[in-house]
Structure 1
């Protein structure tokens, strides 16, 4: 499904999606924010959405989806748009699902994902969440472990998606990955 097209053609839905998932869709693919030439990325790509803190979602050359935060984290989130939108809608705030220690087995991962979802559902209108998911054809009643496992695999796939920041003193600072230990 072409989620970007659906959101672009329905501004009200796009506004609801942004308010639920902190995902502001750009009008078109755009150059990534490279901090005035100070950031270089390991893979070619274009920005297609931003979040409220200055992070960007990138469509990478191979069709996978990368993310570059304003806090120095960069990585691949999903192998394609379908996986990205499944992650966004099912996990509500995917950044809350980055604790690598919880990815031990399916049972632990499911409990972790469900706990994070319950916490995040307290802050949103559940009826709007379900309606948006329905309009986009994304089930929110399936297990979360498979969604989160695809996310984890994408963050680990080689070549890693990374950003290098060129400091004033000439030194280089590599981005952190999206998973934390």
Structure 2
């Protein structure tokens, strides 16, 4: 399913998706925010969505999805749109699922994922969540370990997605790893 197309063609659904997941879809692919030319990314890509804190989702040239936060973190999140939307919908507040110790085995990962999702669901309108998931064809009752394992693998795939910030004094600051430190 082309999730971006579904959201673009249904502004009410896109707004509901944004309210639930802090994901504001851009009207079209645009140049990444390069902080007035001070950011250099390791892989070519274009921005397609932003979050409320200034982070951006990037469609990379190989079809994978990168993310650059306003705090200087960067990384690959998913191998494609299908994996990204599965992560966002299934693992609400995906940034909360980055504890590497919990990825030891499938059982531990599933328990961790379910525990974290239950915590995050406390602040979510469940009817809205199910409505959005249904509209996008994403199950809300499936196992989380496979979704999270794809997420972990994407964050570690080489070449890593990074950003280098060019400081005023001429020095360079490399972005923090977004995941699994």
Q: What is the TM-score of this pair, normalised by structure 2?
A: 0.99
The Cα RMSD (Å) is 0.6
CA distance in 1, matches of 2:80, 2:150: 11
Shift of 1:100: 1.0
Moved over 2 A (4+): none
Cα offsets for 1:142-177 (capped at 9, x unmatched): 110000000000000000000000001111000111
| 1:93-108 mapped onto 2 (5 Å cutoff) | 93-108=93-108
Shift of 1:101: 1.3
Unaligned 5+ segments in structure 1 are none
Residue 152 of structure 1 corresponds to: 152
| 1:6-155 mapped onto 2 (5 Å cutoff) | 6-155=6-155
Cα offsets for 1:59-94 (capped at 9, x unmatched): 000000000000111000000000000000000110
CA distance in 2, matches of 1:76, 1:142: 23
Q: What is the TM-score of this pair, normalised by structure 1?
A: 0.99
**Does residue 1:180 correspond to 2:180, yes or no?**
yes
Choose 99-108 or 32-41, whichever is displaced more.
99-108
SS in 2 for 1:53: coil
CA distance in 2, matches of 1:5, 1:129: 19
CA distance in 2, matches of 1:72, 1:115: 28
CA distance in 2, matches of 1:145, 1:73: 24
